[in-house]
Structure 1
Amino acid sequence: MDFDFSTISSGTNLSVIQEPAALFDALPSKQPGLGYLRQVQATVLERWSPRRDESDLVIKMNTGTGKTIVGLLILQVSLHDAAGPALYLAPTPQLAERAALEARVLGLPVVTDPRSGKFRSCEAICITSLQVMFNGKTRFGLADADSHIQVGTIVIDDAHSAITRLEELSRIVIPPADAAYEPLMQLFEGDLNNQSAPTLLDIKAGERGRFMRIPFWSWQDKAEDVLKLLHPLRSTSTLEWVWPLLKEHLALCEATLTGDGIQISPPLPPIQEFPSFVEAKRRIYMTATLANDSALITHFAADAESVATPIVPDSAADLGDRLVLVPQELVPDLSDHELRTAIASIAVTDNVVVLVPSWQRAREWSEVANATVSTSEEIAAAVTRLQAGPVGLVVIVNQYDGIDLKDDACRVLVIDGLPQAASGSERREATALRDSNTIITRQVQRFEQGMGRGVRSREDRCAVLVMDRHLVDLISRPDVPGRLSPGTRAQLELSRQVARSLEGRRDVTVDGVVDLIRKVTEGAEDFKSAARRALLDVTYETVPLIPTAVHQRAAYDAAVRGDRETAANAADAAVNAARHLMKDDRLAGWLTEKAAAYRHATDPARAQAMLAGATASNSSILRPVSGLTFKPSRPTRRQAEAAAKYLADHYTDGGRLRIRLEALIADLAWDPERTEEAEQAWSDLADHLGFSGQRPEKEVGVGSDVLWSDSDGANFVIEVKSGAEAALISKRDINQLGGSVRWAEKTLTGVKRIVPVIVHPSRIVERTGTPSAETRGVDTGMHAKLMTAIRAYATALAVDDQFRDPQAVQKQLVHLHLNGLEFTTHYGAAVKIDS
């Protein structure tokens, strides 16, 4: 007998259900396996319900606990609340496709085009990627358009990755080959030259590691000229996707010159240009690894009061099982090559994924990699292959989030470095705020994002291997655990307990480390039990917001409105918060540059005075028009005493000293992309050895890259060409060293001797160059010998914390030829002119 059940009333109409959990239970078309909500999902939805009308809400859930379903249910219920249309924004198109699939599995109506009539009439949730909304040709409509698509509720998934993506989508990059590049250079070349003639020459010569900001006073005063240059090119591929967002506020933008071109970006993302987002009644930010939510205030203009109290489950223990290992701490003499070979042996039976920050690092894995991928299409294809079965060892270049490597797709995850700052403004900030709370927190967050790739559910497991020396240095800091999410912190502590228990054991060899990793990959019961115990009673924590965030956003928003005085005052408040509440002078100096840029519009003289005062807190900011006077520094103690005091002030134990000097050695490497880091490392090395290290060219715009001074009046004038790729020292480089020597002779007082030093892969000068007879070259051979000595210095002084004892330090300085003038005679060779 045929019977049509649709002729019978189904009882409660789904559209009247206003509680997400009840809606889930009532959904008639859920596919098998979705019989009930997980406890964590139910708890979060229950806590969202009474707060649903707050404009900005943060939901924190661990990866693999069903964030997507929670977000979709919130959107569907919001449609029932008449708070539609409902929009789900994923960080990438691939993740948007996955979210749409989950919606269909639930039986929820979805579309993927925001122009769909079903979306606009609140009949379906629209699921798309972040960049579909936040671009200058957005389908949703801009603020200056005749109309825009109304949105009632927005869920932003993986909000931590959305923050970085939003910056990228708001940035113009004008490469040297672009028609606007040369006219812009002509417009600002004089101002750039006044900031630093040597750096400008380096950028013109193609040195990729260099960058400098076009002075804000010049940029603002010539904004009309910039507009005239760029406006005719507004429809080109270079400008079309960003120009509509910045055209009205070019004067507010920051312009940075790099080897890749001129980069133009606003102080913060121009979220005000997207009325569909700004006018939404409900905005929900979902994240797994964003420990501090302050960036939601600066980047999305989120309400601080709501953001300060995120919605979290009762427990943070629903993570998969992870063990974090630093093999080269367990086996100190283990070389990178030996470690890569050992990791490749694991890839014979288990999928291994390696995250690297650059192609240069990826090439170091080329001998053992089964595949190396970098584009979004390549990565998506590689992930599909990994999920399907054994692949081996896959290297992924500069992608630390948005990748799902669950279960056998990745049993071993290697993090061989953190993503490098991509834009000129990011690199400036990273340099200016090095070792500050701001940068450390950002790096820790990226590390945690990377770790999350290999464990995607409560039942998953993964061994995480940390290779990069800087990353090892980062996670060994005593203040880092407090910056991690509670679950990751507990897992890292388990890993440290393992490392402490292995300390001193004779069987801790590379083979022993491989055996330990296999206990994780095979799911050994003792490992799984220890991993579960580590997460017992772990709960989420509320982290105080960064006090500068609200003031930074208020300053930018006021400037956009044209209220320059309010903008300047808000920027001043951010500086004061950094200095007095956060006790971070470097950050205060950096924010002073931004405050001075706002102040220039109403009081140029005061803006310059602000800059002049702030350079004492941070030498990496713009120098005022009037310039600065170099203030030489010289140790007041003998070399060994100065070194011992510096080391005792900066290191709690010998282990930290060894780790930090390994990171310093990594920065001293030959690398055209990291010349800024190399110069800073040469300066820092001086302090570790009892000299005084300074960077005159960076501090005042003239002089050498690095200057070493000792208490006896000796000075090493050092030009660092660690990014040089030519076979010979060029005439330009050797003449630059000569100019720096003349500057030192004129500027420095109480000098007994000046030794010119050039750090370059070669010590042979091209024929047209004219080096002085005293010039010493640190070439590839000498550099390698010096690195060996630095490592030996750290190893010896780390024993029983002997670095605190000046006599022990003196013994090592003499033994390793690191003392006084002997340093340059032992680790520098006389340069020669090419014959």
Structure 2
Amino acid sequence: MDFKSLGGGSAADKLIVPRDLFNVLPAKAPRYQYPRDVQADVWNQWFSRRNERDLTIKMNTGSGKTVVGLLILKSCLNEGAGPAVYVTPTPYLVQQVIKEGRDLGLELTEDARSPRVMSGKAILVINVHKLINGQSVFGVGSEGVEIPIGSVVIDDVHACLAETEEQFSIKLVSPAQAYKDLLKLFSSDLEHQSLSGATEITEQEPNRNMLVPYWAWASKQQQVQQILREFVRTFKNDKDKDNKEHKDIALFRYPLIKDHLNLCECVFGEGEAEISLRCLPISVIPSFQSAQRRIFMSATVSDDSVLVTHFDAAPESVQKPIHPESSGDIGDRMILVPQELNPSLTDDQVKEYLKHCAQTVNVVVIVPSKFRAKYWADVAAATLSTDDLQAGVAKLRQGQVGLVVLVNKYDGIDLPDDACRILAIDGLPDVRGRLEKIEQGMLFGSDQVIRGSIQRIEQGMGRGIRSNEDYCAVFLMGRSLTSHLYARNAKSFFSAATRAQLELSEQLAKQFNNPSINDIHQAVRQFIKRDPDWIQASKAAIVGAKYATGQTSHIALSQRRAFNSAVNGDYRDAQSAMQSAVNAEKTDKTKAWLMLQMAEYQHHTDAVQSQLILKEAVRLNPQITPRPLEGIEYTKLPSHLAEQANLCLHHLRQNYPNPNTFILQMNAYLEALIFKPGTAPVFEKTLADLALAIGYLSQTPEGTTGRGPDVLWSLGRQKFYVIECKNGATVDTIAKDYCNQLTGSMTWFTDKYGPTCTATPIMVHPASIIEYAATMHPNARVITTAHLGALRTAFREFAKAVASKPRYGTETEVAQLLAHFKLTEEVFVSQFTVSPRAAKK
């Protein structure tokens, strides 16, 4: 009998309802007997809204997202909305999707030019780089559509966004001629902003970044274009393997932004020039821009603003995501914050504990940088970065490895089951680009920055649970991370299911009283051995967790509208869009940042008004850069203050009603007060904030006006500390230029404060020996590595002591503590600084 003639197989190429389609797939593997309830729920919602161009689907990791996406694309093909493309963040995940699709009995291919794709018979599976690059087979810019896209699924969309953002940026590295030419072109503009800063850029100091003023960038576009075109001509056909990075820029990145250079920002730092955008001109890939259906899939990240700014997704659709009724199908996590449970626990103790655990289970530690990875080097079986990531992950999935460190990798990898039973997130994630680093300095401590950090932390926490049956103990560690979670109430930015798991772990913490590592180990041991009481409590905690509605900030919507208007040459509407964002913003810090962007657009129609807007932005937030052309008037600190103890007590009571919050904040400050390249802005801000915590007043004049010292402390009684921070220095002598900077800052001080006030010049530098032929100010003092360590200890012990007293004690008690820990003006310099010494010939 010929059963094929009955037509059963053809149903899989005709049905368009995804659940029905799933049920009739003739060659799917036995494990796909029935769709999960959450999958059917999502399919039904998508099908009813399938003709909306931009849709977001949110499903927990392990709930069957890949199957959902593949069946949606098969439905689209059957309905005639092809070709269909499934996009993943990495080539490794391409292979996973293809395996899953073939197990379902679907036809898939990696060949973008396959006739089966063009005819709507096969689903194309590619990584995001193949879709979005300057040589994309789909067509770029004026080339038009080379390969059409009818329906596209972007899986793990936030990981794809990171890769896409990288493609839309250019990084020119010294000694490339293009870097030298750009720096020469803008050197005078940087000098006008900050003479010392421009010098540090020229000398490639590791802790300095400077943004080219937007008016200089706009006025020199012709020269910029010439420099970059010459760079492209040089490297486009270069066969030298050593120039792979430059060739990548010439071939794959420059074509994406060449027509939008006038809207770019340019940042110099550490021998690199970065050219990038706040919003991405995704229309340069016309196949993606014109796709009939675009489906963005992700786990439960709460803020989808970046889909608007980077993929130009329709806000009205993004704000109504498709998701299962409940988000309680997430894997099981015990989330512990050891240094919140017991503030006296050190990183070393947690590290040693995780080393012990790694003898029996795989432990994965995600660190923000290579610098932090060095801290784990003595206990790590492997440290993985981009080049060796996939091979290292494969070993974890195959069996016992031990403790493995991942460098700045919070998304795009899977560590299911025994591949990772304990996951640690160590510290706040580092920002990816130089523009982001500059803007983080402008917005330090704002909801905008905190939300971005929490989103990446939550992505990292999801690496260890890849199904609803999976389980993983999660440690959140590092003083900066702990401070963000509790002192800044960042927990509210987590998704509902993660918040529920964190709250359950906090309930568990109430059973502890300053637990030791052994106490914490007992809880982790019971969790890993699958204690039935924990499992019951955990399932009960998340069963009611709901997916949040889509969040797209008013800022993102205004930024996208402004950018699109500017691309079309309508700068007046761009300025109007940013004005709307400014009007809707309540905090001065963020309002000022938005005013900066408004001034950038205003410059194209009214340069004078643009400078006035920028001046007001800097008034609201002194960290805004660049400074207006006419400069910012310096406002002096008062030279006569109340008693130190009185000011200290007032500051603590007003800003930290809860003493535990003060301790967490101080711990975060002290973690930032270290010698580390690339951290100067945070170090300077921290040193200024610590002055307030002990009863002094402070400023960062160079950072806010472009002139003066990095940090200025007012001690009262007409006494000051003029401080230059060189915490990024890595050499064992103080350079001549550093000496000159400190002397120049003292000259600035005398000019601003006159002869009636006195100042002690202080330099923060790991060494106290002056470079041969350099001359230091005769009264100079140095905070060396040892002295900075002593100062951190004094701050920490003072914070613990004063926080232990009801309402921080009395003024007399605070004065006694300040004196005991040598934090008063009378002994501070002798206790925490040393006189510099000249180098021997």
- What is the TM-score of this pair, normalised by structure 2? 0.96
Distance 2:742 2:529 in 1: 58
- What secondary structure, in the 3-state scheme, does the structure 1 residue paired with 2:252 have? coil
Select between 635-644 and 387-396 the one with higher mean Cα deviation.
635-644
Q: Is the contact between residue 802 and residue 808 of structure 1 (CA under 8 Å) also seen in structure 2?
A: no
1:433 alignment partner in structure 2: 443
Alignment-derived partner of residue 194 in structure 2: 196
1:310-709 equivalent positions in 2, closer than 5 A: 310-376=321-387, 378-477=388-487, 479-504=489-514, 508-542=515-549, 544-578=551-585, 583-620=586-623, 621-634=625-638, 636-709=641-714
Q: Report the Cα offset of residue 461 of structure 1.
A: 0.9
Q: Report if aligned partners of 1:645, 1:804 keep a CA contact under 8 Å in 2.
A: no
- 2:333 and 2:474 in contact (8 A); partners too: yes
Structure 1 residue 260, shift from structure 2 partner: 4.0
CA distance in 2 between partners of 1:101 and 1:637 (Å): 71
Structure 1 gaps, min length 5:
none
Partners of 2:66 and 2:809 in 1: how far apart? 53
- How far residue 108 of structure 1 moved from its aligned partner, in angstroms, is 1.0
Structure 2 residue aligned with 1:806, among 787, 807, 811?
811
Percent identity over the alignment is 38
Q: Please, which runs of 5 or more residues in structure 2 have no aligned partner?
A: 236-246
Contact 1:331 1:510 in 2 (8 A): no
Contact 1:407-1:456 at 8 Å conserved across structures: yes
1:11 to partner: Cα distance: 7.4
Cα distance in 1 for residues equivalent to 2:826 and 2:252: 56
How many angstroms apart in 1 are the aligned matches of 2:812 and 2:311? 56
1:102 to partner: Cα distance: 1.0
Whether the aligned pair in 1 keeps the contact of 2:487 and 2:665 (CA below 8 Å) is: no
Deviations 1:662-686 (A, max 9, x none): 1111111010121221111111111
Q: Is the 8 A contact 1:89 1:157 kept in 2?
A: yes
Contact 1:715/1:751 (CA < 8 Å) preserved in 2? Answer: no
Deviations along 1:122-160, whole A, 9 cap, x unmatched? 111111111111111111101300543211111111122
Q: Is the 8 A contact 2:672 2:686 kept in 1?
A: yes
TM-aligned CA deviation for residue 279 of structure 1:
0.7
1:282/1:801 CA distance change after superposition, 3 Å:
farther
Higher mean displacement: 241-250 or 825-834: 825-834
Q: Which of residues 81, 84, 87 in structure 2 aligns to 1:86?
A: 84
2:790 matches 1:785: yes
Deviation at 1:805, TM superposition (A): 4.5
Whole-angstrom CA distance in 2 between matches of 1:768 and 1:62: 63
Q: Partners in 2 of 1:585 and 1:121 — Cα distance?
A: 55
Cα 1:774–1:162 shift into 2, 3 Å: same
Quick one: which amino acid aligns to residue 655 of structure 1? N
**Do the aligned residues in 1 keep the contact of 2:763 with 2:782 (CA within 8 Å)?**
yes
The 8 Å contact of residues 327 and 543 in structure 2, kept in 1 or not, is answered as: no
| Number of residue pairs aligned between Structure 1 and Structure 2 | 825
- Specify the alignment match of 2:244 in structure 1: none
Pairwise CA distance, 1:687? 1.3
Structure 1 residues 260 and 96: CA distance shift in structure 2, 3 A: farther
SS of aligned partner of 2:295: strand
| Residue among 720, 730, 733 paired with 1:728 | 733
1:190 and 1:355, CA in 2 relative to 1: closer, same or farther beyond 3 A?
same
Bigger shift: 802-811 or 535-544? Answer: 802-811
* 1:29 to 2:32 alignment: no
Q: 2:533 corresponds to which letter in structure 1?
A: D
SS in 1 for 2:26: coil
Per-residue Cα deviation, 1:536-566 (whole angstroms, up to 9, x for no partner): 3111122543112211101111111122222
Deviation of the 1:692 alpha carbon: 1.2
Mapping 1:720-799, distance limit 5 Å:
720-748=725-753, 751-799=756-804
**2:305 is the counterpart of 1:305:** no
Alignment of 1:183-332 (within 5 A): 183-235=181-233, 236=235, 237=247, 238-332=249-343
Letter in 2 for 1:497: Q
Deviates more, 1:542-551 or 1:192-201: 542-551
Aligned residue number for residue 130 of structure 1 = 128
Aligned residues of 1:399 and 1:419 also touching (Cα < 8 A)? no
Residues 514, 69 of structure 1: CA spacing in aligned structure 2 closer, same or farther, 3 A cutoff? same
User: 1:289–1:445: 8 Å Cα contact kept in structure 2?
Assistant: no
C-alpha distance 536-807 of structure 1, shift in aligned 2 (>3 A) = farther
Aligned-CA RMSD value: 1.7
Query: 1:163 deviation in Å?
Result: 2.5
CA–CA separation in structure 2 for the residues paired with 1:807 and 1:492: 40
TM-score by length of 1: 0.96
- CA distance in 2: counterparts of 1:193 and 1:223, whole angstroms: 19
Displaced runs of 4+ in structure 1, greater than 4 A? none
| One-letter code aligned to 1:169 | Q
Q: Secondary structure at the match of 1:161?
A: helix
Q: CA contact under 8 A between 1:714 and 1:821: conserved in structure 2?
A: no
TM-aligned CA deviation for residue 327 of structure 1: 2.2
Shift of 1:801: 4.8
**Shift of the alpha carbon at 1:500?**
2.3
The question of whether the paired residues in 1 share the 8 Å contact of 2:204 and 2:269 is answered with no
- 3-state secondary structure, aligned to 1:813: helix
Deviates more, 1:108-117 or 1:541-550: 541-550
Alpha-carbon distance between aligned partners in 1 of 2:716 and 2:414, rounded to the nearest angstrom? 56
Letter in 2 for 1:562: G
Matched AA of 1:434: F
The one-letter code matched in structure 1 to 2:538 is A
Report the alpha carbon displacement of residue 402 of structure 1 after superposing the two structures with TM: 0.9
Flag the 1:11–1:251 CA change in 2: closer, same or farther, 3 A.
closer
2:35 and 2:302 mapped to 1: Cα distance? 25
Tell me the equivalent position of 1:149: 147
CA contact (8 A) 1:648 1:804 kept: no
- Most deviating of 515-524 and 268-277: 515-524
Which residue identity is paired with 1:585?
D
User: 1:166 maps to which residue?
Assistant: 164
Paired residue secondary structure (1:314): coil
Verify the 8 A CA contact 1:432 1:590 in the aligned structure 2. yes
